[in-house]
Amino acid sequence: MIPEPDDGGLGAGDSVSSEFERQIQEAQQERAADLIESAGAPQGASVPEPLSIPGGKQLQRIQTQAAQVLRPLTDTVWSKLDRKATAVAEFTLRQYRTKSSTWVVLGIGVLFVGMMLMFYAEAMATGYEAYDNDGDSFDWDRDGYPAGQEKRLGTDPNDKFDFPDPELYPPDDPSVWVNEDGFDWDGDYGNRNQGHDDDGDCTGEGWTNPDSWSLPGNKDYNGDGIDCNARYRTNETGQIILGILNDPNVDEDPDEDVFIKEALHRAFVLGFGKIGFVFLIGIFLPLFLATGLIRDEMDKGTLHYIMGKPIARAEVLAYRLLGYLAVVWPYSTVLILGTALITGFIAPSDSIFRFDDMAAWLGVLLASWFVMLAYGTVFCTLGVISPKFGLWIAIGLGVWEFAMAMISLGAPNFPLSWLSISHWGIEIVNCSSILAYPDQSWMAAVSETVNWGEDAPITGFYSPPTIMPTSAFGSLLISIFMLLMVTVMALFIGQASLKSKELN
Amino acid sequence: MIPDLSQTGEGRKEWAPAPEAPHVVLNHVTKTYGRVIGLNDVSIAIKGGVTGILGQNGAGKSTLFKLIVGRLRPSSGEVMLFGTNPFKNPAPYSRLGYVSESEQLYDWMTGLDFVTTLARLYGYTRDEAKARALHVLEFVGLEDVVNKEIGKYSKGMRQRVKIAHAMVHDPDLIILDEPLAGCDPLARTTIMNVVRELGAMGKTVLVSSHALHEIERITEQILILHNGRLLALGNLHAIRELLDKHPHRIKLHTDEPRELGRSFLPHEDVYGVRFPNPGELLIETNNLSSVHQALPGICVESGIRVTGIENPDDNLESLLGYLVEGRA
């Protein structure tokens, strides 16, 4: 037979539990005695009953010291949070730095943004030719007078022998009759009576013959009881302009170049913010950078180097995500603020730099941060839950998110899209754009009224808040809350999964 | 040189287990992987000294270690590391250093980065961690390559940097899973010296191997695993003595095996001789040490030249065979 070892080890099959329990109990009692002794307790104090030691302050000191020595892990973790968190986050950062895939993904993002900025710059450099929407700059009868001037002076614009006296009324330059009646809005959402007939071709004001046949017979086409105005239709909250119904010849000839450039610029901020930063960069970066945060380490068999330290598994997941955020947040910040800076110099503005967009870009930045946080946590958790299929599930989720993003853009009130991260990111951009541009819904309504369509695609990218239509700020906060909720839930699931996972 | 590993940084307060409790306790622990049994009803308690874990590939050595360090959860039974469940509570890891069998390392890091980064996870400040890392890297003999990327390290260096990372926090218990696997002789010697020094420093060291002679050079206390079962736990010399009493073989290489065999037959502990191959003499004995003592005299007396001596039964397989057979 194999002899029993001298140092207390056991032979195979020997019962160990009772002996060890006794050893542990003895050890714990000795430990308590050591603690009391080291804390300055009087000799002979009863070990199992430390409360019998006289002196309240001394007792308190002893208990405090003992608690410090025997403090649970959570205390230790909190006191060392900065060291462990920064150590893991730094390690993650450096790990990203060594991977070529990181640079490829980040590089593609920069190229994408660069290309979009080139398209934007080209669009801004393009002049939009003024278009005579009401046709009154044309000399239909070739008598040298624009139709608008002839109408105002009471001659027939279709009769070449009927024209004003050249001595008294020299012909106007046709450009005078282009863009002569733009949209007039006083900015008051509560005032439905808007619009002004700047060129007088509805009211007849300033016309030689106020009863001219060429003035509209029905000057209250929109039926609001007021002649020659524009009736603004708002939603039930009165905060969003849904449509504009003009009386005839009112606000019928706005300045295309000014309006379309402004609408194009805002469409770029909205569209690029939503599709570029919130959706494309917002989903691809986390997909490539966060899915493998834990999963790759498990695959390679290196996770135990970190997990084998006195640090809770849940913390490792959180700190790895911190490292991920330390890459993607500064990256998106640089890209978005860079874009804001470049567009600020190119965008239509009265000054060298356009500051009006900053709030909108900050909204895009906010959306990008929270979306990347949520996607990153979800993807990382998927990698933890299923190291084998996590990436494929993440790609499937990406397809779902794409579909929901499209729904959010086209039909933002369709509730199915609320079950996606992209919807809430898009909502943040919408809300921040409304806060940045108080006349955003007016711009969209004008664009639709004039039917500029592709020239001013703001209607395709703008939509009012969905969750709280009365308050853009409220909707913004709710959207952030929803994204944080997704993040926290994913984090808890990931942490729970990691805690129960065996690292074979 | 034994480094002063007792130094503690200002920011580091140790988790304090009960001081006299066994460092490792396995109480009727079984671990299965589907239908495969990795470890079968193992009960051990370990504290102090260097313990060699012997077993062939698949015997359950790594499974045992993974259970102890909390990487795996037992299918049944109870694992206690410093008195707590290591799978649920990472606190005892502050007293544990673990060198896994995995050859994977962060090749892009330098040895110093690797050890420093992981040391910071024990709560050391950056400076403390670096100072300790330099200390242990010197201890394992890597002081000249601390700033070299691990990817450029030799196999032995990689093992030593793993050992360094495991001892940077001055643990009470160090577990080394096959630390000598794949190392060249020089690296083996260095690592064995390190392990012996750790034992001399009063650490509890568990070191696994499938080579009996390797463990023999490190420690006398062994634990033998076979097919997931704990076969024996005790002093290697005591086991060897038992083994020596068991039928044993000595192989001699000589040009005249038959003549030499004839000279051995009169010895009272020799019960047979065989000639398995030309030029080989196989002596069968019940008392190995007695025959080894008499062997030089008999050879000299016979005047026959012996070119080599082998103990074919002096290996793990023979030991396992004996132990398994003995149990049967």
Domain ranges of chain A: 33-70, 79-126+257-500
Measure in Å the smallest separation between the Cα of B92 and chain A Cα atoms. 7
B9 located within any domain: no
Which residue, among B235, B220, B246, B219, has the nearest Cα to B319 in the 3D structure? B246
Instruction: Quote the pLDDT of residue A107.
Output: 95
pLDDT at B6 over 60: no
pLDDT of residue A54: 30
Give the tens place of pLDDT for each residue, A13-30. Answer: 333 344 444 544 554 455
Mean pLDDT of B119-136: 89
Separation of alpha carbons B225 and B232, rounded Å = 7
User: Is the Cβ of B47 closer than 8 Å to some Cβ of chain A?
Assistant: yes
Using DSSP bridges, classify how beta strands B280-285 and B50-54 pair: parallel, antiparallel or unpaired.
unpaired
- Assembly ipTM: 0.78
pTM (whole model) above 0.90: no
Q: Which residues of B touch A3 (CB under 8 A)?
A: 234-235, 238
HEC-encoded secondary structure of A241-255: EEEEEECCCCCCECC
Test mutation, A91, A94, A95, A315, chain B, max B CBs within 10 A: A91
How, if at all, do strands B96-99 and B173-176 pair?
A: parallel
E-state strands within chain B: 24-33, 36-46, 50-54, 76-81, 96-99, 173-176, 204-209, 221-226, 229-235, 248-254, 270-274, 280-285, 306-310
By C-alpha distance, which of A244, A251, A280, A467 is closest to A368?
A280
Domain hosting residue B210, numbered range: 24-235
- Token look-up 């239908």 returns B35
Verify that B43 and B180 share a domain, yes or no. Answer: yes
* Minimum Cα–Cα distance from B46: chain A residue: A9
Q: Same domain for B219 and B286?
A: no
Find the mean pLDDT for residues A283-296. 92
Q: Is residue B12 part of a domain?
A: no
Interface test with A, best of B27, B72, B121 (most A CBs within 10 A): B121
Q: Which of residues 120-139 of B touch A (CB under 8 A)?
A: 120-125
For residues B254 and B183, membership in a common domain is answered with no
Residue B6 within a domain: no
Where a domain ends, among B209, B235, B261?
Answer: B235
How many separate domains does chain B show?
2
Sheet holding A230-234, edge to edge: A193-194, A230-234, A241-246
Shared-domain flag, residues B136 and B283? no
A195-223: b or e for each residue (b if 16 or more CB lie within 10 Å)?
A: bbbbbbbbbbeebeeeebebbbeebebbe
Decide if B56 is inside a domain: yes
pLDDT at A5: 34
How many Cα atoms within 13 Å fall on the side-chain side of residue A126? Answer: 15
From B235, B260, B279, the end of a domain falls on: B235
User: Using a CB-CB distance cutoff of 8 angstroms, which residues of chain B are in contact with residue A2?
Assistant: 232-234, 238-239, 242, 323
Pair B144, B226 in one domain: yes
Positive/negative CA dihedral, A465, A471, A476, A481 = negative
Task: Give residue A252's pLDDT band: very low, low, confident or very high (50, 70, 90).
Answer: confident
B21 interfacial to chain A (CB closer than 8 Å): yes
State yes or no: pLDDT of A91 exceeds 90: yes
Q: What is the pLDDT of residues A106-127, one digit of tens each?
A: 999 999 999 999 999 988 887 7
Determine the distance in angstroms separating the CA of B2 from the nearest CA of chain A, rounded to an integer: 24
Residues of B in contact with A502 (CB under 8 A): 71-73
Whether B14 is covered by a domain: the verdict is no
Q: What band does A249 get if pLDDT is binned at 50, 70 and 90?
A: confident
Q: Is B164 on the interface with A (CB under 8 A)?
A: no
Q: Is A51 exposed, middle or buried (0-12, 13-18, 19+ CB in 10 A)?
A: exposed
Q: B117 and A91 in contact by Cβ < 8 A?
A: yes
Asked if residue B225 belongs to a domain, the reply is yes
Report whether pLDDT(A380) > 90.
Answer: yes
The answer to whether A201 touches A210, Cβ cutoff 8 Å, is no
Identify whether residues B101 and B207 lie together within a single domain: yes
The CATH number assigned to the domain holding B277 equals 3.30.70.100
Element (H, E) at A233: strand A230-234
Question: What pLDDT score does A453 carry?
Answer: 66
Q: Where is pLDDT greater, at A465 or B132?
A: B132
Cβ separation B98–A2 shorter than 8 A? no
| Cβ within 8 Å, pair B108-A68 | no
Boundary-marking domain end, from B235, B264, B293: B235
Chain A residues closer than 8 Å to B48 by CB: 7
Q: Is there a single domain that holds both residue B229 and residue B255?
A: no
Residue among B24, B118, B36 nearest B67 (CA):
B24
The pLDDT of residue A421 is: 93
Task: Name the token pair of A220.
Answer: 């209250």
Closest CA in chain A for residue B19? A27
- B132 and B211 housed in the same domain: yes
The reply to whether B230 and B256 lie within a common domain is: no
Taking the C-alpha atoms of residue A25 and residue A31, their distance in angstroms, rounded to an integer, is: 10
Backbone angles phi, psi at B59, to 5 degrees: -75, -20
B118 lies in the same domain as B194: yes
Pairing of strands B50-54, B204-209: parallel
Residue-level pLDDT at B75 = 94
Q: Verify that B147 and B281 share a domain, yes or no.
A: no
For the range B136-139, what are the long-range contacts, defined as Cβ-Cβ under 8 Å and sequence gap of 24 or more? Answer: B136/B3, B136/B5, B136/B164, B136/B165, B136/B167, B136/B168, B137/B111, B137/B112, B137/B161, B137/B164, B138/B1, B138/B3, B139/B1, B139/B2, B139/B3, B139/B164, B139/B167, B139/B194, B139/B197
B177 and B39 within one domain: yes
In-domain check, residue B18:
no
Residue B4 lies in a domain: no
Tell me how far the alpha carbon of residue A304 is from its chain's centroid: 36
Q: Give how far B296 is from chain A: nearest CA, Å.
A: 31
Sign, CA torsion A161/A165/A170/A176:
negative
Task: Give the mean pLDDT of A467-477.
Answer: 87
- pLDDT for A8 beyond 50: no
Which residues 6+ apart lie within 8 Å of B174 measured at CB? B96, B97, B98, B99, B163, B166, B167, B198, B203, B204, B205, B206
CATH code of the domain in which B217 resides: 3.40.50.300
